[in-house]
Copies of this chain bind each other. A is one copy, B any other.
Amino acid sequence: MESACARLRASGLRVTGPRIAILGALLARGEPASIEQIHARAGSGRCDLVTVYRCVAAFEQIGLVRRCRFLDGTCLYEFDGGRAAQYRVVCRRTRQALPIDPAAASELAAALGRVEDSLRAKGFSEVGHVVELYGTPPPEGQAPT
């Protein structure tokens, strides 16, 4: 929590009551929470719903919070301690592993998580997966954007 506030200050954001309440709600349990849940946990009286929207968006921008989007249109937010990329593309020629777009990767991770959840719901145990993405990288230094 201390370091979270430090990260706020470092980004030029002010440390306020509502923000501490929101961070507290996110840090309390490790699991991702919805805006509504954060609002409830932060204490509905202590912080307006609109403020939760605004703060979470601000936190996401500075990387304090990660947004997990789901295919049903919902999204959950979790405190971002900083994690390594989980998926890579392997070059068809050199077999070198290259990083992929973080947004696309987290989307993929979410989809895989949901597939595995559906399997567990059917009674499967020891569920896991292997994903290999491969492709031919663009000829040296021509990657757009």
Contacts and interface: CB of A to CB of B under 8 A. Distances in A.
Copies in the complex: 2
A31 interface: no
A45 interface: no
Contacts of A107: 71, 111, 114-115
Interface string A86-112: 010100100000001101110110111
Interface string A110-145: 111011111101111111111111111110001111
Contact of A124 (B105, B117, B136): B136
Interface of A: 69-73, 75, 87, 89, 92, 100-101, 103-105, 107-108, 110-112, 114-119, 121-138, 142-145
28 contacts: A71-B71, A71-B107, A73-B73, A87-B115, A92-B126, A100-B119, A101-B115, A101-B119, A101-B122, A104-B111, A104-B114, A105-B115, A107-B111, A107-B114, A107-B115, A108-B111, A110-B111, A112-B133, A116-B133, A121-B144, A122-B144, A123-B138, A123-B142, A124-B136, A126-B136, A127-B134, A130-B131, A130-B134
